[in-house]
Structure 1
Amino acid sequence: MGKKKSKSGKGCMPKKECCLSKSRCGRCPIRMLKEGTMPSGYTVHKRKLVKVGKKAA
């Protein structure tokens, strides 16, 4: 049995944190950032999903 390939894209939000698996999962923020499928207003910092423009407390 093979892995199911999901159609990751516009409606899919990334996970809050990367799970560090060698084969990146469909919702991995690092993979989405590299492919350019990350939703606008978000980026990745230290393997965690962060909003752009949000100040750290």
Structure 2
Amino acid sequence: MPKKSKVRKLPKTECCVSKSKCGRCPLRMLKEGTLPEGYTVKKRKLVTVDGKKVTKKKLAKAA
């Protein structure tokens, strides 16, 4: 039986500041350790580790 690859959820580019924290919240994903490699969160915005802005196109390639 072939092993199914799990589809990774992509984080949003910015936290929407909802009290319940949505499933794609970059802050929540950072805390859980499910953020894609090379990304971090600064001032509620998703950025690369070297501090550059993130576009959805680049993010899709990373995941």
TM band (smaller chain): 0.7 to 0.9
In terms of fraction of residues, the more helix-rich structure is 2
The Cα shift of 1:21 comes to 0.3
After TM superposition, the score normalised by the length of structure 2 is 0.67
Q: Tell me the SS of whatever aligns to 1:44.
A: strand
> In the comparison of the two structures, how many residue pairs are matched?
48
Q: Tell me the SS of whatever aligns to 2:27.
A: helix
Contact map agreement 1:10 1:37 (CA 8 A) in 2:
no
The Cα shift of 1:18 comes to 0.2
Structure 1: gaps of 5 or more residues: 1-8
Structure 2: gaps of 5 or more residues: 1-5, 54-63
Q: Tell me the SS of whatever aligns to 1:34.
A: helix
RMSD, matched Cα = 2.0
Identity of aligned residues (%): 67
Q: Distance in 1 between matches of 2:50 and 2:35?
A: 16
